[in-house]
Chain A
Amino acid sequence: MTAVATSAGRGRPAKTPTRSVRWRRLTWVAWRQHRATLMVFVILVGLTAIAIALTGFVLHPAGSRVYSAGPHSLWPIYDVTDTSLRLALPLMPMLAGLFLGAPLIAREIETGTARFAWAQGAGRTRWLIATVVPAAALLAVIALGLGLEFRWWMTPLLPSDWAWRPDLFSLNPLPFIGWTLLGFSLAVFLGAAIRRTVPAMAAMLACYLPLMYLVATTWRRAYLPPLHRAAAQPTFTPGGGYGYTTYWGNLRGPGPDILSTALGWPSGRLLTRSELRHSAAWFRLHHIQVWVTYQPGGRFLLFQYIEFGWLVALSAILIGMTVVLIRRRAA
């Protein structure tokens, strides 16, 4: 039996109220922990950015001539870059979630290091915030850069309404920041809730992809009530806006469609090639009014703000829920 400890701990002055560990120090811990993953991520983004810049400088002087065929056609370059960017850029928020967000807390819990980290003086709340917030800020900056660069790349090459299109709207700088933050914070939250990295990754995709699809196909159109307008051509989009539904009716205003399919007469007869070529005249002749439901071009920035706003708010809620979860749950 030891006598050594009998005087231990007694007579020690009560400690003064403890100061909190500085944020800068906690952020260093997060950086040291995740810098390898961040590096890989930054390298991937950097390569993408370089590819966008190089092809942009090649394609931009040609303008709309990139679409023309010929021996020195730039079409293959445009086609490959355009296709890859449309695939790669929407992946970025998912990659940020899968490889940065999901393991952030789940791996600590899985490996047991959470018991080390959370028992230290800093405490789990500050540790979590110091880990999540700088990562989110870095991702936002990266997303802003990529979004701006993509806009620069796309603008001379596509008609002015390109940025409205459902598959491209989320690549505009502000919505792109929003989606990146959402992908990341959703994965962080699911990692904290499920406490295992791989299931959290799967759950993140299972939530993120349907949400992205729903927003692109239906929700985004409903941010503000759409306008309706008679048009000469079904492809008409007033003021560079986004027209998304066309009615062929005989009423003044959008109403029951009298055409069953795009250009099939109720009898099922499709329009002939010459009728199609002069479709406006043909519609007039048969007293068919073309109505387009659309979001006007003037709302473009507002729509970006709306999407950015709710995505950031949702991300903040998810991070808040993560904090609550981590404070409450066992290590």
Chain B
Amino acid sequence: MNIIESCGLGRRFGRTWALRDCSMAIPAGHVVALVGPNGAGKTTLLNLAAGLLQPTSGRLTVLAGEQPGSAQARNRIGFVAQDAKLYAHLPVGDMLRVARNLNQTWDGDRARARLADLGIPLDRKVRQLSGGQRAQLALTIAVAKRPEVLILDEPLAALDPLARHDLMSSLMAAVVEDGLSLVFSSHVVSELERIADYLVVLNNGRLQLAGEVEHLLARHKILTGPGGEMFVDSQRIAIVHAQQAGAQAHLLVRTSAAEDPVPHGWQSQSASLEELVLGYLRDPGARMLPGPAVATAGGARAVTP
């Protein structure tokens, strides 16, 4: 089952396309990181998937063919929007009651137990909670409706490192306990490797990279070698991004087979997820997408400082 499937998906706000020509299929059972710089279209994509926005062009389905925002989709997807806005004037206990009454399925005992574990008192007003506690409350509510898919828009953005770590642990626990698929967006790339096993990179409203992390890492390498005027054979090596550091050049390259030959005088090492993401983000033209719509990247390029 694909939890999110889109074809030629686009959304325009006024004259600006926030998301354009986006075709992908994200299978169930993954922890999906949706990565991109600010304004890349991450929130737009997630809001479309949650049924809070209508596409301008193309189409998007969730949970194997359901319309986003349909009753089925709403019941089976837990969504936490950016900043996790909840009713600030309500006490936590009443906020839980509101959420219970807005949902068909609800595991209230577990929600209360979770909040007790986290030390969030039920009688405190939502506005009196810290940013981390509010994010935890929003997550608790989203999980308590027992969704199959959890969609979180920038869950970590406003949190300090400790709260971020705690929230990540909670998230992972929820994923393990409930066996749910998780899709979350982030512009922080440094911590993804520990959590995500599926990566979607958006840049400037366009899809740049999508696939399982393992697969993506196996298909990319960092080549380090002499800089200066040097051409890399474009027939064999597709450069995603090239960077000159002193006398050395670092290339993020895509390899077709498991063991491509390394050019003479160059060293090859595997890329980290962060290097991979940053390499693509620095070169918005580069793409690697599954399926027939794979765009070519790189080509013959001079590596010059």
Interface set of A (CB-CB < 8 Å, partner B): 1-10, 12, 15, 18-21, 25-26, 28-29, 32-33, 36, 111-113, 115-123, 127, 328, 330-331
Q: For residue B89, which residues in chain A have a CB less than 8 angstroms away from its CB? A: 36
CB distance from B241 to the nearest CB of A (A): 22
Q: For residue B88, which residues in chain A have a CB less than 8 angstroms away from its CB? A: 111
Interface set of B (CB-CB < 8 Å, partner A): 1, 3, 28-31, 47, 50-54, 69, 71-72, 74-77, 79, 81, 83, 85-90, 94, 97-105, 138, 145, 148-149, 172, 175-176, 178-182, 193-197, 213-214
Q: For residue B214, which residues in chain A have a CB less than 8 angstroms away from its CB? A: 1
B102 touches A4 (CB 8 A): no
Q: For residue B97, which residues in chain A have a CB less than 8 angstroms away from its CB? A: 28, 32
Q: For residue B3, which residues in chain A have a CB less than 8 angstroms away from its CB? A: 9
Residue from B71, B81, B98 in contact with A33 in the complex, judged by beta carbons closer than 8 Å = B98
Q: Could you name 24 residue pairs across A and B whose Cβ atoms are closer than 8 Å?
A: A1-B196, A2-B175, A4-B31, A5-B175, A5-B179, A5-B181, A6-B29, A7-B179, A8-B178, A9-B29, A9-B181, A28-B97, A29-B98, A112-B83, A113-B87, A115-B50, A115-B79, A118-B51, A118-B52, A118-B69, A119-B52, A120-B99, A121-B74, A121-B145
CB distance from B141 to the nearest CB of A (A): 8
| Distance A8 CA – B28 CA, assembled complex (angstroms) | 7
Cβ-Cβ contact count across A and B, 8 Å cutoff: 145
B176 touches A4 (CB 8 A): yes
| Distance A118 CA – B102 CA, assembled complex (angstroms) | 9
CB distance from B212 to the nearest CB of A (A): 9
| Distance A15 CA – B101 CA, assembled complex (angstroms) | 20
Closest 7 CB pairs of A and B: A112-B85, A9-B28, A120-B102, A25-B101, A115-B81, A331-B52, A121-B103
Q: For residue B175, which residues in chain A have a CB less than 8 angstroms away from its CB? A: 2, 4-5, 8
Q: For residue B148, which residues in chain A have a CB less than 8 angstroms away from its CB? A: 9, 12
| Distance A127 CA – B28 CA, assembled complex (angstroms) | 30
With both beta carbons as reference points, the residue of chain A lying nearest to B88 in the complex is identified as: A111
Given contacts A32-B97, A121-B104, contact A1 B182 (CB under 8 A): no
A115 touches B181 (CB 8 A): no
| Distance A12 CA – B81 CA, assembled complex (angstroms) | 26
Q: For residue A121, which residues in chain B have a CB less than 8 angstroms away from its CB? A: 71, 74-75, 102-105, 145
Residue from B50, B74, B99 in contact with A123 in the complex, judged by beta carbons closer than 8 Å = B74
| Distance A110 CA – B94 CA, assembled complex (angstroms) | 21
| Distance A29 CA – B100 CA, assembled complex (angstroms) | 9
A112 touches B81 (CB 8 A): yes
CB distance from B168 to the nearest CB of A (A): 11
| Distance A123 CA – B213 CA, assembled complex (angstroms) | 35
B1 touches A20 (CB 8 A): no
